[in-house]
Amino acid sequence: MALTTSWTKLRHLLTLQKHTRNIIVVASRHCNNTSQPTTIQQVDEEVAKLLDLKAQLGDEPTPKTVLKTPKGTRDYSPKQMAIREGVFKVIVDCFKRHGAETIDTPVFELKETLTGKYGEDSKLIYDLQDQGGELLSLRYDLTVPFARYVAMNKIAKIKRYHIAKVYRRDNPAMTRGRYREFYQCDFDIAGQYDPMIPDAECIKIVYEILDNLKLGNFVIKVNHRLILDGLFEVCGVPKDKFRTVCSSVDKLDKTFWEDVRGEMIDDKGLDPISADKIGEYVQLNGSSELVEKLLKDEQLVQSKAAKEGLEGMKLLIQYCDIFGVKDRVRFDMSLARGLDYYTGVIYEAVLEGAELVKSNSKSKEQIGVGSVAGGGRYDGLVGMFAAKGKKVPCVGVSIGIERLFSIMEAKMERGNQEVRTVETEVLVASAQPNMLEERLRLCKELWDAGIKAEISYKANPKMLDQYQYAEKAVIPFLAVIGEQELKDGVVTLRDTKTREETPVPRADLVSTIKQKCCSNSI
Amino acid sequence: MALTTSWTKLRHLLTLQKHTRNIIVVASRHCNNTSQPTTIQQVDEEVAKLLDLKAQLGDEPTPKTVLKTPKGTRDYSPKQMAIREGVFKVIVDCFKRHGAETIDTPVFELKETLTGKYGEDSKLIYDLQDQGGELLSLRYDLTVPFARYVAMNKIAKIKRYHIAKVYRRDNPAMTRGRYREFYQCDFDIAGQYDPMIPDAECIKIVYEILDNLKLGNFVIKVNHRLILDGLFEVCGVPKDKFRTVCSSVDKLDKTFWEDVRGEMIDDKGLDPISADKIGEYVQLNGSSELVEKLLKDEQLVQSKAAKEGLEGMKLLIQYCDIFGVKDRVRFDMSLARGLDYYTGVIYEAVLEGAELVKSNSKSKEQIGVGSVAGGGRYDGLVGMFAAKGKKVPCVGVSIGIERLFSIMEAKMERGNQEVRTVETEVLVASAQPNMLEERLRLCKELWDAGIKAEISYKANPKMLDQYQYAEKAVIPFLAVIGEQELKDGVVTLRDTKTREETPVPRADLVSTIKQKCCSNSI
């Protein structure tokens, strides 16, 4: 500490002397007066002394560790954790209501497990340093580890949820809830089942979660990879360009059609006639009536894939109707989803408060948060791991918890809502000195009876401090003891809000608190 | 698959031919018979043919991805997760009962944040690959990130718990619950308080958790770094050897005194007289009577540090007595704890079923699990991060959840205890074909009423399959519908266990199930 101060002063003095010398030199030049070398010499002598002092002090101390979390990550404060846990509870309750089990997998996988699963996004995977042994990477999502788990354990069917952090070396946009370390909440159904039944349940789940979180209107966009494939086929896209054209279409939520068209023609060498045909289709969206219309589109249904996809979409919307969620579901032919592994239905939920506006010719600017859930069917992924390529069809959904959390946090801040970060029911307090042991004894009684209790860690805390602590932490009661209470065999129970004080016989304290806290929480 | 088999056969044949050729060559040499070149030539011809075949088959196929989790890690199955969540609940309930908030920090930190905090153990830190940008490491514990958090946010006091995974490139011993990726459950109290009050609460917490988990007898060993320092001082250990001698003492839980003594003298250059003096002290353990005895030890109390430590220990045991946990606390002078950052009280909880026996002269063999919780006071760690070195005294405890979990798992396996992995209350079923939509409709009604319900994803599932599914997943009720039920406006509610069937008016179904499930769970 003393050393650091000396260094700071020294640096400051040296800079000052340098300035002084410069001023003298410049001044003497302007005056055409060269007979002032003494002043300069004096300054130089001062500098020499300072440099000598510097040498005596030794090396400049190394600066303190940079105090920050890694780029794109953050800490969660107790208040943020309380909000986050509230959101998690809504999600987990929903998953459990639908009969899901839960599993956990390691945060890193063998590098080869992730290889070839994410297409262009593979460059965003975090690798661990080779410290001898296996080559490892941090998981990029929960879907690939799930598929690895299913294949490794030779599971034929499972309905599981998994809530855990995933890692992407993406450009963080933290104000919009986009981080390099973020939670995913995944629900997946694996198994050979009849068409669209599990798929519709996934949509029902997204609906229930967004509805329960009360974040305003939302729409669940749905599409089908087979419809996209069929559409490309009839528009004359060569088969080897399906995937790359698909990833151009995927940009339509952030880019305008004219730019996507340009990319298809200029970058991907697509025939402009094909591109324009695609353009007509991908701008369509609607519900069952659009499916019916397309099923009558003679050009489109020439493709077996498109026909199959449309029949599936018809069934899906029918089940969504039974589940009471049809009015939130929009069949949107521009929805493509980035990942390679989808093979059937794909979906994405968007909050309607988060619409897109045109900001410049290149891109749409997103107001708010946008996509908050997404998923689809991936029937081939498990087979990529399984010993004999044995396929286990899967469909699932991932809830974008960080974005939901950002919205909830902003909402609570706007509403000035108090968030409790502790659940303490009673603060054991005393106004008198030398009551520490008595406070500890009483607190022990409460803990052992299952009551959430705290005490001040000071031997002789001030009563005012204890009152203020209880108020700040929203602890509903104080159990106050002093000489008189001990003599009378009572505890003074003080209601933090009303400041009402009641003497309660020590033997009745636990039951009284339990009763009061129970009625309080109703 | 067919290709792989050909390759396997080919490799086998080539190896065989090579062996045959060698045998012939060796045999002909021994027989001094050089007239057998034909046989060798025949073999060579066979080999040539095989090599030709190999060329025709093209490149050897790359083997399938290795299906495993990284070394020292594991997946958690739904059953294991159910057990794990049960253990977590006991721990979190206890932390909340003591008024703790919770925080979260990223899984990786800047490498420099972890540097210089773990002494010799630093070699066990996982580094991330340098992919441009910051140098990162996976967290090694939750204590250093907590200290970083406290310093970064200029927090003067906080009582928080943090449950998260940490990473150590240690030699895994998975059967004993030692992994490279494992959960830590930490509870810490930061702030300037009166002596030993928060320290005693940490011990009370360890007691409550181990008591509630019902894992048998346990003992909480306690010691004090100042007592150790004072002991080294009066035994004539040079000050610069305090730390290294301390880490020798730390081995006493796994190694016998004679070996530790040898290490001190031979490896660390300690005077044998000093070592023997240390040996007398570190084999002592007891309770308040030992503290009193040592406070009268004229040699020991010459050290100011030892005296201060002993006074602290006296107070701690006194508070432990008030908290009703004194009989489980053992003042053990051999307890040293590995980490550098402890400055005061240190403790470690050991399950008594897990005693140590002598297996050979070099080490004690651990039966079972051993240490299940540990911690201590670290008053200097936050200051290592704080801008002006501002100290925030801390004391905390870490629960070794993986070990507890291993014990619980083994216990449940032994007891053949059923672990439910889903919470489903009702399976919506039908014995008749073409009832899918009706089943979906009924299931939707239940979900919307908050009832945990499932349906078969088959369009026309067999009744027997539905019964068996409910039995296997321990789902207490089936809600069965068919033509007759729809006509009568009822649902047949079947009790999975008793197989009793009751027709319930559709309008009363939700309330009936809620009532039955509620009374069932009591």
CB A373 within 8 A of CB A399: yes
Do the chains contact at B440 and A97, CB–CB below 8 Å?
Answer: no
Instruction: Walk across the sheet containing B477-480 and list its strands.
Output: B453-455, B426-429, B477-480, B490-495, B501-505
Q: What angle do CA B269, B275, B277 make, to 5 degrees?
A: 150
Which residue of A69, A183, A192, A394 to mutate against B (max B Cβ within 10 Å)?
A: A69
What's the confidence (pLDDT) of residue B360? 44
Q: In what helix (H) or strand (E) does residue A396 lie, and over which residues does it extend? A: strand A394-399
Q: In what helix (H) or strand (E) does residue B447 lie, and over which residues does it extend? A: helix B436-448
Which residue of B104, B123, B426, B428 to mutate against A (max A Cβ within 10 Å)?
A: B104
Nearest CA in chain A to B132: A169
Average pLDDT over residues A184-211: 97
Nearest CA in chain B to A157: B457
Residues 437-466 of A with CB under 8 A from B: 437, 440-441, 444, 447-448, 450-455, 457-459
Share of chain B above pLDDT 70, in %: 83
What's the confidence (pLDDT) of residue A83? 93
* CA B360 – CA B353 distance, rounded (Å): 21
CB B377 within 8 A of CB B344: yes
Do the chains contact at B73 and A108, CB–CB below 8 Å?
Answer: yes
* Local confidence band at B377 (pLDDT 50, 70, 90 cut-offs): very high
In this predicted structure, the answer to whether residue B64 has a pLDDT above a threshold of 90 is no
Beta bridge partners of A350: A219, A371
* pLDDT, tens digit (0-9, with 9 covering 90-100), for A104-131: 999 999 999 998 888 778 899 999 999 9
Do the chains contact at A108 and B70, CB–CB below 8 Å?
Answer: yes
Q: Length of chain B, please?
A: 522
CB A430 within 8 A of CB A438: yes
Query: What phi and psi, each to the nearest 5 degrees, are found at residue A388?
Result: -105, 25
Question: Minimum mean pLDDT among A86-90, A252-256, A373-377: which range?
Answer: A252-256
Average pLDDT over residues A453-457: 97
Do the chains contact at A97 and B453, CB–CB below 8 Å?
Answer: yes
- Minimum distance, in Å, between the CA of residue B124 and any CA atom of chain A: 10
- Minimum distance, in Å, between the CA of residue B497 and any CA atom of chain A: 19
Do the chains contact at B385 and A67, CB–CB below 8 Å?
Answer: yes
In this predicted structure, the answer to whether residue A178 has a pLDDT above a threshold of 90 is no
- Structure-model confidence comparison of residues B328 and B253, the more confident one: B328
- Minimum distance, in Å, between the CA of residue B464 and any CA atom of chain A: 17
Nearest CA in chain A to B459: A194
CA distances from B223 to A240, B330, B375 (A): 70, 9, 11
In this predicted structure, the answer to whether residue A13 has a pLDDT above a threshold of 90 is no
* HEC assignment per residue over B346-397: EEEEEEHHHCEEECCCCCEEECCCCEEEEEEECCCCHHHCCCCCCCCCEEEE
What's the confidence (pLDDT) of residue B157? 96
Q: In what helix (H) or strand (E) does residue B495 lie, and over which residues does it extend? A: strand B490-495
* CA B510 – CA A103 distance, rounded (Å): 30
Question: Minimum mean pLDDT among A42-56, A329-343, B47-61: which range?
Answer: B47-61
- Structure-model confidence comparison of residues B295 and A6, the more confident one: B295
Please name the amino acid found at residue A279: G
Distance spanning both ends of chain B, measured CA to CA: 55
ipTM above 0.90, yes or no: no
What's the confidence (pLDDT) of residue A416? 76
Please name the amino acid found at residue A371: S
Scanning the structure block, which residue is given the tokens 């944040």? B113
Contacts of B502 (CB under 8 A, 6+ apart): B492, B493, B494
Residues 277-316 of A with CB under 8 A from B: none
- Structure-model confidence comparison of residues B453 and A355, the more confident one: B453
* Local confidence band at A247 (pLDDT 50, 70, 90 cut-offs): confident
* CA A342 – CA B128 distance, rounded (Å): 30
* Local confidence band at A29 (pLDDT 50, 70, 90 cut-offs): low
* CA A381 – CA A375 distance, rounded (Å): 14
Nearest CA in chain A to B388: A1
- Structure-model confidence comparison of residues A347 and A359, the more confident one: A347
What's the confidence (pLDDT) of residue A15? 59
> Residue B384 CB: number of other CB atoms within 10 A?
19
Do the chains contact at B458 and A194, CB–CB below 8 Å?
Answer: yes
DSSP alpha helix (H) spans, A153-217: 197-213
Contacts of B54 (CB under 8 A, 6+ apart): B10, B14
| Cβ-based contacts under 8 A for chains A and B | 249
Q: Which residues of B touch A71 (CB under 8 A)?
A: 133-134
Q: Smallest Cβ distance to A107: which of B103, B169, B181?
A: B181
* Local confidence band at A53 (pLDDT 50, 70, 90 cut-offs): low
Highest mean pLDDT among A23-32, B8-17, B335-344: B335-344
Residues 356-395 of B with CB under 8 A from A: 384-385, 387-389
Instruction: Walk across the sheet containing A477-480 and list its strands.
Output: A453-455, A426-429, A477-480, A490-495, A501-505
* pLDDT, tens digit (0-9, with 9 covering 90-100), for B464-506: 999 999 999 999 999 999 999 999 999 999 999 999 999 999 9
Share of chain A above pLDDT 70, in %: 83
In this predicted structure, the answer to whether residue A23 has a pLDDT above a threshold of 60 is no
* HEC assignment per residue over B24-57: HHHHHHHCCCCCCHHHHHHHHHHHHHHHHHHHHH
Q: What is the pTM of this model?
A: 0.84
CB B468 within 8 A of CB B456: no
**SS3 at position B221:** strand
Which tokens in the block code for residue B175? 């059967």
CB B306 within 8 A of CB B234: yes
DSSP secondary structure letters along A26-93? HHHHHTT----HHHHHHHHHHHHHHHHHHHHH-SPPPPPPP--PPTT---B-HHHHHHHHHHHHHHHH
In this predicted structure, the answer to whether residue B46 has a pLDDT above a threshold of 70 is no
* CA B330 – CA B203 distance, rounded (Å): 11
Q: Smallest Cβ distance to A452: which of B96, B436, B458?
A: B96
* pLDDT, tens digit (0-9, with 9 covering 90-100), for B118-161: 877 889 999 999 998 899 999 999 999 999 999 999 999 999 99
Nearest CA in chain B to A73: B106
**SS3 at position A344:** coil
In this predicted structure, the answer to whether residue A352 has a pLDDT above a threshold of 90 is no
Check CB contact of B66 with chain A, cutoff 8 Å. yes
Q: In what helix (H) or strand (E) does residue B16 lie, and over which residues does it extend? A: helix B2-30
In this predicted structure, the answer to whether residue B356 has a pLDDT above a threshold of 50 is no
Query: What phi and psi, each to the nearest 5 degrees, are found at residue A455?
Result: -135, 160
Query: What phi and psi, each to the nearest 5 degrees, are found at residue A454?
Result: -135, 160
Please state at what angle helix A401-414 crosses helix A78-97, rounded to 10 degrees. Answer: 130
In this predicted structure, the answer to whether residue A451 has a pLDDT above a threshold of 50 is yes
- Report the mean per-residue pLDDT for chain B: 87
Q: Length of chain A, please?
A: 522
Nearest CA in chain B to A166: B107
Do the chains contact at B324 and A134, CB–CB below 8 Å?
Answer: no
Nearest CA in chain B to A325: B444
Q: Smallest Cβ distance to B99: which of A181, A200, A422?
A: A422
Q: Smallest Cβ distance to A421: which of B101, B437, B457?
A: B101
- Report the mean per-residue pLDDT for chain A: 87
Q: Smallest Cβ distance to A457: which of B158, B181, B198?
A: B198
Strands A218-224 and A329-332: parallel
Please name the amino acid found at residue A447: W
Please name the amino acid found at residue B243: R
Q: Which residues of B touch A99 (CB under 8 A)?
A: 422-424, 452-454, 473
CB A380 within 8 A of CB A169: no
Average pLDDT over residues B424-447: 97
Question: Minimum mean pLDDT among A19-23, A129-133, A213-217, B262-266: which range?
Answer: A19-23
Check CB contact of A10 with chain B, cutoff 8 Å. no
Average pLDDT over residues B379-384: 94
CA A7 from chain centre, in angstroms, equals: 43
Scanning the structure block, which residue is given the tokens 């400049």? A60
Is B419 buried (19+), middle (13-18) or exposed (0-12) by CB count in 10 A? middle
In this predicted structure, the answer to whether residue B278 has a pLDDT above a threshold of 60 is yes
Query: What phi and psi, each to the nearest 5 degrees, are found at residue A496?
Result: -60, -40
Contacts of B518 (CB under 8 A, 6+ apart): none
* Local confidence band at B171 (pLDDT 50, 70, 90 cut-offs): confident
**SS3 at position B343:** coil
What's the confidence (pLDDT) of residue A522? 39
Nearest CA in chain B to A450: B97
Which residue of B1, B4, B75, B318 to mutate against A (max A Cβ within 10 Å)?
A: B75
What's the confidence (pLDDT) of residue A12? 57
CB B385 within 8 A of CB B367: no
What's the confidence (pLDDT) of residue B78? 96
Average pLDDT over residues B98-117: 95
Is A424 buried (19+), middle (13-18) or exposed (0-12) by CB count in 10 A? buried
**SS3 at position B474:** coil
In this predicted structure, the answer to whether residue A366 has a pLDDT above a threshold of 50 is no
Question: Minimum mean pLDDT among B55-69, B185-199, B425-439: which range?
Answer: B55-69
Q: Which residues of A touch B199 (CB under 8 A)?
A: none
Do the chains contact at B151 and A67, CB–CB below 8 Å?
Answer: yes
**SS3 at position A346:** strand
* CA A186 – CA B348 distance, rounded (Å): 38
Burial readout A215-246 (b: 16 or more C-beta within 10 A, e: otherwise): beebbbbbbbbbbbbbbbbbbebeeebbebbb
Which residue of B67, B187, B196, B468 to mutate against A (max A Cβ within 10 Å)?
A: B67
In this predicted structure, the answer to whether residue A16 has a pLDDT above a threshold of 90 is no
The upper half-sphere exposure of residue A260, i.e. CA atoms within 13 Å in the direction of its Cβ, equals: 25
Check CB contact of B105 with chain A, cutoff 8 Å. yes
Contacts of A108 (CB under 8 A, 6+ apart): A128, A136, A137, A138, A139, B70, B73, B181
What's the confidence (pLDDT) of residue B414? 84
In this predicted structure, the answer to whether residue A194 has a pLDDT above a threshold of 80 is yes
Nearest CA in chain A to B161: A78
* pLDDT, tens digit (0-9, with 9 covering 90-100), for B197-241: 999 999 999 999 999 999 889 999 999 999 999 999 999 999 999
Please name the amino acid found at residue B420: R
Contacts of B260 (CB under 8 A, 6+ apart): B248, B249, B251, B252
Q: Which residues of B touch A207 (CB under 8 A)?
A: none
* CA A512 – CA A502 distance, rounded (Å): 11
In this predicted structure, the answer to whether residue B305 has a pLDDT above a threshold of 50 is yes
In this predicted structure, the answer to whether residue B29 has a pLDDT above a threshold of 80 is no
